[in-house]
Amino acid sequence: MGLSATIVTSWIIMAVLVGTAIALTRRMRENPGTAQTVAEAVVMTMERAIGDVLPRERLLVFPFVATLWIFIVAANLSGIVPGVNSPTADLSATAALAVLTFFFVHWTGVRSVGLRRYLAHYISPNPIMLPFEIISEISRTITLAVRLFGNMMSLEMAALIVVGIAGFLVPIPLLLLHIVEALIQAYIFGMLALVYVAGGIEMQRRHFEKEAT
């Protein structure tokens, strides 16, 4: 069984991102240069966005959501390189990201309120709700995967169609469209993951606040 292009591209992207992170952190200075300034601005922007949604769990959630944003942006933008298809235009890659998000959402919920309290929510106010809760969790994960895959695949197909019709007379508008769409889709995926985490934690807290009163 050979390695697919999606797997190879994904590993290359991860290697580049890890190498870039190591290079930036090893050369950090009190008087930062351009690269460090840009990196710090990106990190601070992501941290503020996460803090606006989950101020108390900001440090717990930040590593995962920030990594999602950075990886998906890089994966989306890799489609700009001639001969390279974006990993996120492959359903297997977006499904893997969605499954990771699924487990992270529940792990964060358990970390925040405890295993017993977290699981108790799914059978409240009646155990008959459990199948519906499970269906909701599965459908949400599938939607997350299909949404990113559909948008990136349609973007690449549209680019191929336009280039096929108009030739290479319109490369710059297509390039700009790809960049903008790559950033938007990465942001939406990360924010949806963040909203799922926040929603789960908030529901648990409201549930047990009512029980306490």
**134 lies in which domain range?**
5-212
Residue type, 188: I
Q: What is the pLDDT along the chain (213 residues), one digit of tens a residue?
A: 567 888 999 999 999 999 998 888 887 777 778 888 888 899 999 999 998 888 888 888 899 999 999 999 999 988 887 778 889 999 999 999 999 999 998 888 888 777 777 777 777 777 787 888 888 889 988 999 999 998 888 877 776 676 666 655 556 666 777 788 889 999 999 899 888 888 777 666 565 555 555
Overall domain count for the chain: 1
**Helix axes 91-113 and 171-212, enclosed angle (nearest 10):** 30
Task: Judge contact between 30 and 7, C-beta under 8 A.
Answer: no
**Helix axes 58-77 and 34-53, enclosed angle (nearest 10):** 120
pLDDT at residue 162, as a whole number: 66
- Identify each DSSP E strand in 49-143 by its residue range: none
Contacts of 1 (CB under 8 A, 6+ apart): none
